[in-house]
Amino acid sequence: MIQYKQLMITIGISFFIALILGPIVIPILQKLKAGQSIRHEGPKTHYSKAGTPTIGGIIIIAAVFITTISSGRLNTDLYIVMFATLAFGFIGFIDDFIKVVLKRNLGLKAYQKLIGQVLIAIGIAVYQAKISSYGTQILIPFFNKHYLDLGILYIPYIVFVVVATTNSVNLTDGLDGLAAGVTLIVSSFFSLVALNWGYPSIAVFCGALTGACLGFLKFNAHPAKVFMGDTGSMALGGAIASVAILMNLTLFIPIVGGIYFAEALSVIIQVISFKLTGKRVFKMSPLHHHFELCGWKETKVVIVFWSVTLILCIIGLYALK
């Protein structure tokens, strides 16, 4: 059984790998001219970010994989979460590559992304339903470890969870250090749960993810030297979703990942409101841009969202009892 000391070592190894990879990957992205384009309707303070290298999520993915593979704790569960992370990261990479390297603004079409996401989600759902001793059950928060059996609804439910989570994390990635910092905290939560619930391989993976996000923040914190792009945000979403699925904790994602949920919900509300009434509820969506346009500095928004996530993860730990 992996212990807390081993978990900290795993986090440290992944952290240092990310620190080493940063100065290697960023110049390569600069040579490829993989610069981020900025929305003209967005906050004016973001205009100076135009041209900042993106696709930096490669740093996170590489650090996680190197650390995880070298841990010596490979098993089927670990292969599943690694596959999900890589597969979603690959979808994001293709989209980024088309947009920023080939200079085609549209990238992948929405339906192409959705098809890929659904196929990956179905694979994870089928695996968990057949392999897990809990089958199609999911843990209900705050109900003293009571489980709900979804039966035939399990697979469509998991597909919804995976697609919603990956796209929510993608929407969260809009400010320097926001998605990486929030995911760092969320993955720390899942690593602690995995450690105490007898999922050593998942604990290693989450520890590696935590360390990789922490190392990436060295280059992604304000002012960012590199952005993770869809490569990183999609990979992070796939990682968090698959980890929660394998531990039957999908209902905890809206709790500990409340910031993801709020970001996605703000977009949905904005779109519905504008189509029905012609009016916008928020100054701009996703939610982090609303606060920016309310006068908050970017760093303040990020720190507040990190703090909220930390509080939500503490609530999540209480919800496990």
Confidence at residue 1, expressed as pLDDT on a 0 to 100 scale? 58
Which of 65, 96, 51 has its CA nearest to residue 231?
96
In this predicted model, what pLDDT tens digit does every residue of 183-199 receive, in sequence order? Answer: 999 999 999 999 999 89
Confidence at residue 36, expressed as pLDDT on a 0 to 100 scale? 64
Average pLDDT for 252-273: 97
Strand ranges inside the chain, DSSP E: 137-140, 146-149
Residues 178 and 263: their CA atoms lie apart, in Å, by 11
pLDDT higher than 90, residue 207: yes
Residues 294 and 283: their CA atoms lie apart, in Å, by 8
Confidence at residue 134, expressed as pLDDT on a 0 to 100 scale? 82
Residues 11 and 212: their CA atoms lie apart, in Å, by 8
Percentage of residues in the chain with pLDDT exceeding 90? 81
Amino acid 157 reads Y
Average pLDDT for 277-301: 94
Helix axes 154-172, 76-96, angle to 10 degrees: 50
Domain ranges of the chain: 4-248
- Answer whether 194's CB lies under 8 Å from 202's CB: yes
Confidence at residue 147, expressed as pLDDT on a 0 to 100 scale? 93
Average pLDDT for 245-261: 97
Which of 53, 66, 19 has its CA nearest to residue 229?
53
Beta-carbon neighbour count of residue 48 at 10 Å? 10
Q: Of 98-102, 248-252, 267-271, which gets the smallest average pLDDT?
A: 98-102
Q: Is 105 annotated as a binding residue?
A: no
pLDDT band at 3 (very low <50, low <70, confident <90, very high): confident
Beta-carbon neighbour count of residue 81 at 10 Å? 25
pLDDT higher than 90, residue 32: no
pLDDT higher than 70, residue 37: no
Q: Is 144 annotated as a binding residue?
A: no
Average pLDDT for 43-66: 85
In this predicted model, what pLDDT tens digit does every residue of 146-160 receive, in sequence order? Answer: 999 999 999 999 999
Percentage of residues in the chain with pLDDT exceeding 70? 94
Beta-carbon neighbour count of residue 146 at 10 Å? 10
Confidence at residue 178, expressed as pLDDT on a 0 to 100 scale? 98
Residues 16 and 208: their CA atoms lie apart, in Å, by 11
Q: Of 44-48, 96-100, 276-280, 306-310, which gets the smallest average pLDDT?
A: 44-48
pLDDT higher than 60, residue 239: yes
Could you tell me the two tokens for 296? Answer: 């908050």
- Answer whether 126's CB lies under 8 Å from 242's CB: no
Confidence at residue 35, expressed as pLDDT on a 0 to 100 scale? 64
Confidence at residue 50, expressed as pLDDT on a 0 to 100 scale? 72
Which of 239, 264, 236 has its CA nearest to residue 179?
236
Residues 241 and 219: their CA atoms lie apart, in Å, by 25
By the 10 Å C-beta count (0-12 exposed, 13-18 middle, 19+ buried), 47 is classed as: exposed
C-alpha to C-alpha distances, 81 to 67, 84, 87, 244, 320, nearest whole angstrom: 14, 5, 10, 10, 22
Confidence at residue 145, expressed as pLDDT on a 0 to 100 scale? 82
| Sign of the CA dihedral running 281, 296, 213, 51 | positive
